[in-house]
Amino acid sequence: MNRVNLTINGKTASAACEPRTHLADFLRDTHNLTGTHIGCEHGVCGACTLLVDGVPTRSCITFAAACDGAEVTTVEGLDNDEIATELRAAFSREHGLQCGYCTPGMLVSARDVVLRMQDPTEHDIRFIMSGNLCRCTGYVGITRAIQSIIADRRARGIAAVPDGGRARLGPAGSGNAGSASAGGKAVSAAPSPKSSMPSVTTARKDDGWKPQTTFTQSFTVAHPADVVWEFFGRVGEVASCLPGASLTGEPVDGHVEGQIKVKVGPISAEFHGVADIARDDTSRTGTIEGAGKDKRSNSATRGRIAYAVKEGDEPGETRVDVTIGFTLTGMLAQFSRSGLVQDVANRLISVFVQNLEARLRHRAQGGAPERAPVTAEFDAGSLVWSVILGQTKGLFAKLFGRR
C-alpha cells in the first residue's frame, strides 16, 4: 500500500491505496467525490476528466500514487469557480446536456478552452473538445454554450490566459503546470524574448527531467566520418532530412527555433518549439534538447537526442549511434503509449537516413544542397498502418508457416 498525499479541492487529504489504483477510483472510493465519472477506463471518452496541477487530466489512466503532492480539482471543487459557474448556466440554456454522465468531464475541458483560447472558431472548439464524448446531445448545444461564454467574457474585457498560465512542459502531476487556479484566474508566464512561442521553454539539463520513453538506434551511411560530422553541424540541412521538420531561423549561440508537421490519421499537428544544440568536435558527439507544442490539439512534447559519429566497419563508411528520449502529452499522447512507437521510430529514422544519403551524395556530386531530393512529409498514420500490416503478416507466418 502507498500513502498518497494530495490537495483535493483546496483541502489537504491523505489516504493509503494500492500502487495500481487510478486517480478516479481513489477519489470516488476514498473521498466520496463521485462527481468524477468513469466511462471507458481507457482515457478515450473523457468522462473522468479533472484538473491535476491545473491541467485537464484523464483520471482513469492516471495512477493516484503518481500524483503524490499534486493539487487535484474535481467538478465538486468548481462550485464557486467563475468560469464553471457561467458554463453551467450556458449548458442549461443551450441544452448542452441530457443524461449528464459526460457533463462533469465536459465542463472541466470546456473551462480550459474558455481560459486558454482568445477567439476560437466553432471548428477550433469542436476539435479541442473532441476528446470528450457525448451519446446524447450531438454537441451543437455544447459548442454554442462554450462560444457564448467566450464571447461574453471577451466583451467584458477578460482576455484568455496563454496556455492557462502553464510555464513549463511536463505530464500532469509533475509540478510543471504553473498556477492556473480554480477561480478562473491564472498567473501567466513571462514570454521568452527569443521564442515566438511564449509557453515553450527549452529543456534544461539541470531540472531533473526524465523522458517517459527512451530508445537507441544505430545506422550506417556510405560516406567518411569527417564528412558526416561536418554535415551534422549544418542544422538547417539536418532538419530538412527529417520529414516534416523545418527551421524558422538560423541557430544563434546554439539556440534554434523550428517546427515539425505530423499527421496521424485525421489529426494534423504542427509542433512549434525551440531547442539547444551542443557539439563536441573531439569526441564527435552532440546533443539536441528541446520542447514544442501544437496549439490546435494542445499536444506538447519535450525531448533529448544524443548522437555519436564513429568510423564504420568498412573504409569510407560512418556509423551513427542515436539515443532518443521524449515525453508527449495531450491528444497525441496515446500514440506514445502504443507498443508500435519503436517500429514507427525505426521507419522514421530509415527515411531520415535515406534523405541524409541523398543530401551527402548530392553535395559530393557538386549539386546545390537545397535541390537534393528528400522525402518531405511525415504521415505517422500511414506508418502505423504499414507497421500493423507487417506485424500481422509476421504473426500469420508464425502461425501457418510450418504447415
pLDDT in tens, 217-267: 888 988 999 999 998 888 888 887 877 787 887 778 788 888 887 765 555
* DSSP assigned state of 28: I
Strand order in the sheet with 285-294: 213-221, 318-329, 299-311, 285-294, 267-280, 255-264, 245-247
Q: What is the pLDDT of residue 398?
A: 57
Q: Left if phi > 0, otherwise alpha if psi is -120 to 50, otherwise beta: which for 138?
A: left
Looking at the chain, the domain(s) classified CATH 3.10.20.30 span 2-165
How many residues comprise the chain? 403
Residue 314 has pLDDT above 70, yes or no: yes
Strands 245-247 and 255-264, bridge-based pairing: antiparallel
Cell of 288: 539536441
* DSSP assigned state of 30: I
Question: What is the CA 26 to chain-centroid distance, rounded?
Answer: 26
CA–CA separation, 322 and 177 (whole Å): 30
Q: Which helix (H) or strand (E) holds 388?
A: helix 380-400
Cell of 37: 465519472
Least confident of 44-48, 125-129, 215-219, 379-383: 379-383
**CATH H superfamily, domain 213-400:** START domain (3.30.530.20)
Note the maximum CA span of the chain. 75
Mean pLDDT of 109-126: 94
Q: If DSSP codes are grouped into helix, strand and coil, which group holds residue 146?
A: helix
Looking at the chain, the domain(s) classified CATH 3.30.530.20 span 213-400
- Looking at domain 2-165, its CATH class is alpha beta
> Average per-residue pLDDT in the chain?
79
